[in-house]
Structure 1
Amino acid sequence: MRGGIWVLNIFAAIWFMVGAVGSGLPLPVLAVAAVISGALIGWGLRTTGAEPSRNPNVGRLVGIWSAVEGVAIFVAANVCMNIGAQDAVAPVIAIVVGLHFLPLARGIPLPLYYATGAALVVLGLAALLLPGAERVGVTGLGAAAILWASCVLLIRQAQAWRAG
């Protein structure tokens, strides 16, 4: 649970920074990512306790699917660049990241990750329909919002589990 909180927030902050830069927002806005992620990590660490592992192979499962995700991102980004669709890279990465959540949702098991994955895929597909100049900003800021919202829901699930 705690590992998920860290990972969601680190990647939310990265997506926010990508989106902010892609949107042409002033650089001091980048601090927002650190504030939000820091606050959520702090809340999560204070709120969540030791939770029994749902699957003893979670680390292996996450490692395998993260490796698959990394290779898929590398291939997809290179395809986009080679066909002259540089503005499609961020939305395509969001789609790959979203798809990567689906086997995690089943294997961990954490049904919340189905919604996270689906939301990222829909975001990526919707961003591909936008004019090229808007794709990076919308994808980055949208992905950050999805990951932060997932973190909030994950923390609330942990609170409910602890409350009994």
Structure 2
Amino acid sequence: MEKEPHRVPEATVKGNATGLFMMALFTMIWAGIAYGGLHGTAYALLLFIFPLLSIYFIVKGVALFRIAKNFPKLTDEEDIAEEKRRGKWFGIVFGAEGLGIFIGINIVVNLGHPELTIPVIALVVGLHFYPMGKIFKRTIDYYLATWSTIIAVCGIVFTLKKLMPANSILAFLGVGLAIATSCYGLNMAKRAANLLSV
């Protein structure tokens, strides 16, 4: 008797792998920002967890790409259309995030507050998770969107009210957003583990 083919399509496996690579990159970027704020302090050593997680995400992503060929290609017209729709909206949201970051930076710089650059980037990143939740039908996106947005708004308030030194705000934002991208990556890695065990 012939074994029933995997229900998960190849495109989903590759998409998960790509997501893991992206979370590895963004986790390192935010950890780098945190390191910039904590540099020269003993707390900087605590950031070692983020590079380790990034390496873990890359290893899982590579493993997924290697096994992707064992999964079926999309053949159902409805599934192909849905995959195209998701890809299109992902591209739109990703493009809007880049545009939002560009506009946000220009606004704060022209208003004479260049110190708000990183908090505004964090805010746009946080907000972009909301439509991602709808596109990919994932609840975790809404939690991470709310977490990241709160961190960003706090960073803006701390900066404007001068409630914390600039380095501490960088550390706060960097760690907060690195936690968000790490949680996202861990969620993807959990799904990757399920796929690798099939």
TM-score when normalising by structure 2: 0.69
Does the 8 A contact of 1:69 with 1:96 survive in 2?
yes
Alignment partner of 1:24 out of 39, 46, 66 = 39
Change (3 A) 1:76 1:132: farther
For the residue of structure 1 that corresponds to 2:138, the secondary structure is: coil
For the residue of structure 2 that corresponds to 1:129, the secondary structure is: helix
Structure 2: unaligned runs, 5 residues or longer: 1-15, 159-163
Whole-angstrom CA distance in 2 between matches of 1:132 and 1:72: 26
2:6 is matched with: none
1:144 is matched with: 178
For the residue of structure 2 that corresponds to 1:84, the secondary structure is: coil
The structural deviation recorded for 1:74 is 0.7
- Counterpart of 1:127 in structure 2: which amino acid? G
The structural deviation recorded for 1:69 is 0.7
Shifted more, 102-111 versus 38-47: the winner is 38-47
Is 1:9 aligned to residue 37 of structure 2?
no
Does the 8 A contact of 1:101 with 1:113 survive in 2?
yes
The structural deviation recorded for 1:155 is 1.7
1:81 is matched with: 109
2:189 is matched with: 155
- Counterpart of 1:42 in structure 2: which amino acid? V
Does the 8 A contact of 1:90 with 1:140 survive in 2?
no
Whole-angstrom CA distance in 2 between matches of 1:61 and 1:3: 16
Alignment partner of 1:121 out of 142, 149, 170 = 149
The structural deviation recorded for 1:163 is 6.2
TM-score when normalising by structure 1: 0.82
Whole-angstrom CA distance in 2 between matches of 1:64 and 1:109: 16
Runs of 4+ in 1 over 6 A off after TM superposition: 51-54, 161-164
- Counterpart of 1:141 in structure 2: which amino acid? V
- Counterpart of 2:17 in structure 1: which amino acid? R
- Counterpart of 2:58 in structure 1: which amino acid? I
Whole-angstrom CA distance in 2 between matches of 1:120 and 1:75: 19
Alignment partner of 1:92 out of 120, 127, 137 = 120
Structure index of larger Rg: 2
For the residue of structure 2 that corresponds to 1:56, the secondary structure is: helix
Whole-angstrom CA distance in 2 between matches of 1:73 and 1:123: 16
The count of residues paired between Structure 1 and Structure 2 equals 162
Percentage of pairs with the same residue: 23
Shifted more, 107-116 versus 45-54: the winner is 45-54
